[in-house]
Amino acid sequence: MVEETCEILVSGIVQGIGYRPFVYNLAKELGINGFVKNLGDAGVQIIAQAEKQILQKFIDLLKERKPKLCAYESIEIEWIKESQNYLTFEIAKSSSQQKGVGFSYLPPDISICDECLNELDSDERRRSDYPFNSCVDCGPRYTVIEKLPYDRPHTVMTDFPFCSECENDYTNSNDRRFHAQTTCCVDCGPSYFLYSSENKEIKFSDQTELIKFVAHEIEKGKIIAIKGIGGTHLACSTLRDTVLLKLREAKGQRKYKPFAIMVKDVDSIFAFAKITEEEKKQITSFRKPIVLLQRNDTYYLSEWVAPGLHNVGVMLPYAGIHYMLLREMKEPTVVMTSANPSNYPMFIENEEIKEKLPYVDYFLLHNRRIYQRNDDSVIRINKIGENRSLKFLRRSRGWVPEPLLSHIDIGNQTLLGIGAEMHLIPSLMKGSKIIPTQHIGTVTLLETYEYMLEAIEHYLSLYSTNIESIAYDMHPQYLTSTNITEIASRFNVDEYHSFQHHEAHIASVALEHKIDPEEKILGIAIDGTGYGRDGTIWGGEIFKGPVYDLKRVGHLEQYSLPGGDLAVKYPLRSLMSLLSLDHSKNEVVDIVTPLANYLPRKMEEVEFVATQLEKGDFPKGFLTTSTGRFLDAVSTLLNICGVQTYEGEPAIRLEGLSLSEKNNSELPKLKIPYSRNNEIYTLEVSKILPDLIELKNKHKKNILGLATQKALGESFGGIVNEIGSSTGIEKILISGGVSVNEVIVDSIVKETISMNKTVYTNEKVSPGDGGVSVGQLYLLALKQKGFL
């Protein structure tokens, strides 16, 4: 039989997941000669030489047996005339010269696999109880890569040369560490070291004894800083109120903000929380995110883990150090919260960790560099109608730097979407791929601003590309907006465009679901704040039109925010503003007097705010249609939460308390009326407040909270039904931070489904401000295509 040669170009998730070793072993199995190599952005190239029917089988098996983390975008096959006869099959040296259109796929950091976990518990000397154990199927990826192609010399593992045995593992095609770039062992790899609060190293005979000591100290009530894969955690007991209160006080702005916890295994979760099959699927996946789970009736952890909430953030061990630690503890749960203060970049340098955490009892640090910070991802699973929907509260470790695929292709240019200000995640777009960075945080500090720029620079370096145009938020006071000329200069960009915040939210949904840009849709954007086109603060908006030309056709009724940001921290101020729309000054004061203790100056402040409201004449920046602030006001009125100690707290606690009654069919029937004037709908949210005041003594607060949120969803649903009926528009897109609220979105869906409307929400990026950059990029891409 005559041998033939084919060239196979593969793109997709094919780097960093053992793809080349897979191809090598398959070729050897079939007796094929040639080579496989990485091509940087162009993916992976395979030259295969054999009889044609064998090559055809090879191509089929590439698809059938692909590694579990592999995802093909395309497989291009060309039969070529090759003068060279290959005598064997090999993994060739990677090439970074050939560039593809769009970004190459890189895998995210992958949680430790079962085989590596089994080795931790084995008698195998080199990897028994070795916390950095990994193989071709698991271990850090994004946090250790310095540049492409993904080869060991291009990672931080270049600091740890192979011992002879690890080199044998790496070059043995029958070993699961064959070409696994993070391969190492106790003889040649990184190690953990323990330091006291006085910065003195505490010596141990081996890593096992070190971990046992740390585990016992946690159970005794100590706080331990643990350097991990993409940052540093603070670990402490989930049972001891004293240490949790100490940690809250030490972290400053953490009076009530919940801590995430790590749990030894799924079985241990049932002792304190409910978990559905979909939640179990996510929490046990290779991504190992923090999943928000509802508490159950046997919840036994300290109330100070997640004070005042119905749920708790839970994750499973994703690194060897986590597994070893929990294995040595009697209690199967441990607090694992970020060590950095709110809005600061994560601590990754050992000296910085010791210097900036003076309240920590011990520092468990390793000597492997973290090249890129990467915080834990946070998700929740909402039941919307008959479906369960994944919602990102934070998209980072386990997902970054996986791309999103757009239905718009911009060719070889590169665009940057910066995002807004809070929960910032910038994104790059090239070809039809959009790659969000890791979670940066709220960019109000110069340290976080610089971290944002460094993350963007890393992407540009990683993918060897340059930005040609930038999309940013039109808010005139965001640091990302006031510094846009500086940002553009830093990246040598001449062109930058601002986009309205809520229109970008809706655009992010349109991109996710690949909705035709020419198709008219209805958009509902519900959040806490976003700069509106009229200079006021929007946050409860209804739009109509194609995504590139959305018109505002509805919104919550406008009310003032007395004191601006003070009304966010003390939502009684917003409540008084809403009440003042239909009540006199004296009536407002009488209604809120029982709630005056929520304000720092109590009745004196009530009187002052009431006088402000009576005078009126607030500047535009103090006028709002915010859904978030309305929910905060309701939370305060119902005496659920009247002071915001972390972002969204009053509304979050309102929803949490209400979910316990979600299936209650005997709710008081509350309504939020809406009106229409000059083609603009207004949701008259203040009209529900008198009903709540009247019913406060007749119903429990969770019942009234649920009824209010349902009424809000039904009112939004009623408006889009009316607009849809008159225009024929059938698709409804919902986004914004408040759209993680299960009750409201479920009510919109149930209200619209009877009118044959289809509702789309964010599931691949955060519906909050973490997804804004994706919407900005989509709008910028459409502008480049001539739609805007």
Closest CA to 393 of 410, 377, 406, 417: 377
Widest Cα–Cα separation across the chain: 98
Identify whether the C-beta of residue 208 lies closer than 8 Å to the C-beta of residue 229.
no
Q: Give the H or E element holding residue 454.
A: helix 446-462
Identify whether the C-beta of residue 642 lies closer than 8 Å to the C-beta of residue 636.
yes
Instruction: Give the relative orientation of helices 701-727 and 649-659 as an angle to the nearest 10 degrees.
Output: 100
Strands 232-236 and 333-338: antiparallel
Residue 12 pairs in a beta bridge with 72
Residue 20: active-site member: yes
Closest CA to 401 of 376, 427, 422, 423: 427
**Alpha helices (H) in 620-700, listed in sequence order:** 627-637, 649-659, 689-695
Q: How far is CA 376 from CA 90, 314, 393, 473, in A?
A: 37, 11, 11, 26
Cβ count within 10 A of residue 716: 29
Query: What is the distance between the alpha carbons of residues 686 and 537, in angstroms, rounded to a whole number?
Result: 17
In our burial notation (b when 16+ CB lie closer than 10 A, e otherwise), range 476-495 reads: eebbbbebbeebbeebebee
Query: What is the distance between the alpha carbons of residues 245 and 236, in angstroms, rounded to a whole number?
Result: 11
Query: What is the distance between the alpha carbons of residues 515 and 66, in angstroms, rounded to a whole number?
Result: 31
Residue-by-residue DSSP string for 548-580: GG-EEEEEEPPEE-TTTHHHHHSTHHHHHHHHH
Residue 392 pairs in a beta bridge with 379
In total, the chain counts a number of residues equal to 788
**447, 450, 456, 458 alpha-carbon torsion, rounded to 10°:** -90
Strands 378-384 and 33-38: unpaired
Query: What is the distance between the alpha carbons of residues 714 and 720, in angstroms, rounded to a whole number?
Result: 10
Q: Which of 25, 33, 38, 380 is catalytic?
A: 38
Closest CA to 482 of 529, 536, 446: 446
Identify whether the C-beta of residue 475 lies closer than 8 Å to the C-beta of residue 463.
no
Q: Which amino acid, 50? A: A
Strands 89-91 and 33-38: parallel
Looking up tokens 């509902």 gives: 524
Q: Is 276 helix (H, G, I), strand (E, B) or coil?
A: coil
Which residues carry out catalysis?
Answer: 20, 38
